[in-house]
Amino acid sequence: MGDGTSADPRTGTPPADARTGTPGRDAPVDVRPVPDGRVPTAPAVGGPPSGVTHHRQPGDGWVECACGRRHWGLHGAAGLLLTRRDAHGRPLAVVLQHRAPWSDQGGTWALPGGARTPHESAEDAALREAAEEAGIDPTVVRVRGTSVLTHPDWSYTTVLADELAPVAPAATDAESVEVRWVPVEDVDRLPLLPAFADAWPDLRRRLEELTGAADGP
């Protein structure tokens, strides 16, 4: 996931409205986890395939933000923008996740990522989520910088990183239909998660500014 607003739910839980009677806001499909943190067994929107792994973490949950929307991640969220560069350091491709259709704003493409745990840095969260969701080995990734989207009650940190050795990402949990390298010039041809689509032009500029060898100091 790589969005900045209606972030990625961990589970295909039933709509909160069905349980609480709370009127929905702008999210037609609310997959808010149940209050006690259990993962319900009967997802409302088809749900992930049975038997799949859910990586439930402290910090999973929705934040009702003063901006008027709700966002995933009680302590904010983070995503990994992993970049492959050519011999001159120019960005060639980035890893994107095709998000599962049952997830919030499912079917769109965004960055692997998710909610931060209570004392977890954005970098650590992004690397952990990328390992869980996309099988990306954090030892062959070098963090180059971050880009933070700040809301009144929430934040989303994009962690910009370079590939140090060939990474073959794959969909490794139920949140992804597919995870793959996408050429930089093709990113905005995909149906992107709206918040990632908004962020992409600036992120692409950042990637292009961060030229040079990935193994520098």
Residues lying near Zn ion in the complex (CB under 5 A): 65, 67, 151
Q: According to DSSP H, which parts of the chain are helical? A: 16-20, 122-134, 194-209
Burial class (CB in 10 A: 0-12, 13-18, 19+), 89: middle
Give dist(CA 138, CA 143) in Å, integer.
10
Nearer to Zn ion, 147 or 172 (CB): 147
Please report how close the Cβ of residue 7 comes to Zn ion at its closest, in angstroms.
10
E strand segments, the chain: 62-64, 70-72, 77-85, 91-99, 109-110, 113-115, 141-151, 154-163, 176-183
Nearer to Zn ion, 7 or 131 (CB): 7
Q: Which residue has the tokens 């995909």?
A: 190
Please report how close the Cβ of residue 195 comes to Zn ion at its closest, in angstroms.
10
Length of the chain: 217
Nearer to Zn ion, 83 or 158 (CB): 158
Nearer to Zn ion, 61 or 169 (CB): 61
Q: Which two tokens stand for residue 131?
A: 């390992």
Please report how close the Cβ of residue 154 comes to Zn ion at its closest, in angstroms.
5
Nearer to Zn ion, 75 or 128 (CB): 75
Contacts of 52 (CB under 8 A, 6+ apart): 173, 174
Please report how close the Cβ of residue 5 comes to Zn ion at its closest, in angstroms.
7
Please report how close the Cβ of residue 200 comes to Zn ion at its closest, in angstroms.
19
